[in-house]
Structure 1
Amino acid sequence: MAEQRRNLYFYYHPNQELDEKLKPLYQLARDKDFSIVEDSKNANIIVAVGGDGTFLQAVRNTGFRQDCLYVGIRSQNEAGLYCDFSIDNHDEMVEAMENAEVEVRRFPIIEATVNNESTFYCLNECSVRSTLIKSIDVDVYIDDLLFETFRGDGLIVATPTGSTGYNKSTKGAVVDPKLPCFQVSELASLNNNRFRTLGSSFILSGERTLKLHVRQDGNDYPIIGMDNEAFSIRNIYDVTVRLSDQVVKTVKLKNNSYWDRVKRTFL
């Protein structure tokens, strides 16, 4: 790890048990000449302690920083796609870092612009879903081509790393994160003589632009899901999605590839 990266910020949801487990980790960090900072703006290594959900929140709430490394630590004995390390095994974590058994991996993110005004970044996925017991109608444009008109519960646009999340539950494909692309999947599409969709997920090159134009038919306030957080924005007209030039840089074990984690989690 680069010599200048010595300021650690710990992101987690405080509780008494976790606070106690973190004390020896704090001391270990200080013994190794790391500084623990109280403000994420002063950090160059951001450590998320919890699980994949906490990791996603840490990245979002610290602004998808490009000058930081993100590290995921599991607080429970459960599989995780973003968290390589366990809070119950400090020695293994330090040994891996000291013996150069870790590497920096760069995960692609997407940017979603709502109504040509507000832009959000997503590490896992962006979703547009109906808030009513009523289907939502969306015109789907790929670049300038009207590709299809969707009617159903909503659409998911997932990154490669996000392909194992919400996207996978809708039978979307699991995608290698080394591919610069994003995937579009349907939620309960309705196909008839008036509305016709592809009926399966599809993958777009990172050079493409996707536009979701929400038809204003009374269902004008869909939920926009950004990773594991939801935003209710009044009068959604369109959502434009692109693969961002930015990435999330994470510290991962060299012997724990993306496909190792997929196998361990699902097989």
Structure 2
Amino acid sequence: MKYNVVNRGDETSVRTKDRFHELAAASGLTVDAEHPDVVVSIGGDGTMLHAFHLYADRLDRISFVGIHTGHLGFYADWKPMELETLIRHMATDTSEPIRTVKYPIIEIEISNGNTTETHLALNECTLKGVEGTLVAELRINDERFEMFRGDGICISTPTGSTGYNRSLNGAILHPSLEAVQIAEMASLNNRVYRSLGSSIVLPKHHHCDIYPKKGQKILFTLDHLNMQLTDLTSIRCMVADRKVSFVRYRPFPFWNRVREAFIGDIVE
């Protein structure tokens, strides 16, 4: 099996990376940064986002696995003290296809009137006004839905629904659902601007177009990346045709992750 490691760069993650390489070499695994079968993320969820974007053009050939060296992350199943077990699975489970789960991601088309760029997001993308509130028209399946004015808009995947979306009172979606969620940030409601005021969930094969008011400077984020857009015409978001694959050598149910992250031990 060929693998590559992406690590957060802090002392614990670097030490864990070095130990992983040592154990992997002893087990016959091969490092291949260009064509890995598995990409190992060592750090937190931000490290996994970085790894995802490094290999976003090869999702059909790559699976990801996370080792968390800080707080428990939604994308990390393993701890540093479990490296031997993880590598044993990687080294011995080569006679059959890698056991994975596949999660939906978002496809975003950014248009400036002349050109269109397509990006993928594992967690979410957001739009905010740089010099004031964001003013934008939303269309769903090419039908006008609302005129928004507020701090911004967050579009999230089911796995990303536990992040920024949750802080905006959006729903937590199970990643088996092929959907995108659109949540408002501090929307204004008056006689001129009327918006729904709650998040909405769009299924696969639906799309949402966002048309910012002309001349606005927009802060656009894509997972851990951010950029300022001064000539943005529209953004289209939808469930991508491709999915991201995560290695599952052992079960770790999604709702267990949610409980551990936000609730903890249940006291009777």
Residue in structure 1 matched with residue 229 of structure 2 by the alignment:
233
1:127 aligns with 2:126: yes
Q: How does 1:209-224 map to 2 (within 5 A)?
A: 209-216=207-214, 218=215, 220-224=216-220
Q: How does 1:83-94 map to 2 (within 5 A)?
A: 83-94=76-87
1:55 aligns with 2:48: yes
1:117 aligns with 2:110: no
Select 1:79's aligned residue among 72, 76, 79.
72
What is the aligned residue count?
255
1 CA distance for matches of 2:249 and 2:186? 38
Which piece of structure 1 moves more, 108-117 or 7-16?
7-16
Q: How does 1:237-252 map to 2 (within 5 A)?
A: 237-252=233-248
2 CA distance for matches of 1:36 and 1:184? 39
| TM-score when normalising by structure 2 | 0.89
2 CA distance for matches of 1:87 and 1:238? 44
**Do the aligned partners of residues 90 and 254 (structure 1) sit closer, same or farther apart at CA in structure 2, a change above 3 Å counting?**
closer
Q: How does 1:1-267 map to 2 (within 5 A)?
A: 6-37=1-32, 40-65=33-58, 66-76=60-70, 78-94=71-87, 98=92, 103-115=99-111, 117-132=116-131, 134-216=132-214, 218=215, 220-267=216-263
Alpha-carbon displacement from aligned partner over 1:225-248 (angstroms, at most 9, x marks no partner): 101211222211100111111011
Q: Post-superposition shift, 1:17?
A: 4.3
Q: Secondary structure at the match of 2:256?
A: helix
2 CA distance for matches of 1:15 and 1:81? 19
Asked if structure 2 preserves the Cα contact closer than 8 Å seen for 1:103 and 1:254, the reply is no
2 CA distance for matches of 1:16 and 1:200? 42
Alpha-carbon displacement from aligned partner over 1:190-212 (angstroms, at most 9, x marks no partner): 00011111110010111101100
Asked if structure 2 preserves the Cα contact closer than 8 Å seen for 1:64 and 1:248, the reply is no
| Letter aligned with residue 248 of structure 2 | K
1 CA distance for matches of 2:105 and 2:77? 20
2 CA distance for matches of 1:112 and 1:182? 11
**Quick one: percent identity of the two aligned structures?**
28
1 CA distance for matches of 2:148 and 2:106? 21
| Letter aligned with residue 111 of structure 1 | E
Alpha-carbon displacement from aligned partner over 1:88-110 (angstroms, at most 9, x marks no partner): 3213324555589x830101111
Residue in structure 1 matched with residue 266 of structure 2 by the alignment:
none
Alpha-carbon displacement from aligned partner over 1:123-175 (angstroms, at most 9, x marks no partner): 1111111111x111110000111000000011011110000000000000000
**Do the aligned partners of residues 17 and 265 (structure 1) sit closer, same or farther apart at CA in structure 2, a change above 3 Å counting?**
closer
2 CA distance for matches of 1:204 and 1:127? 16
Unaligned 5+ segments in structure 2 are 264-268
| Letter aligned with residue 3 of structure 2 | L
Q: Secondary structure at the match of 1:43?
A: coil
Q: Post-superposition shift, 1:44?
A: 1.9
2 CA distance for matches of 1:204 and 1:16? 42
Residue in structure 2 matched with residue 3 of structure 1 by the alignment:
none
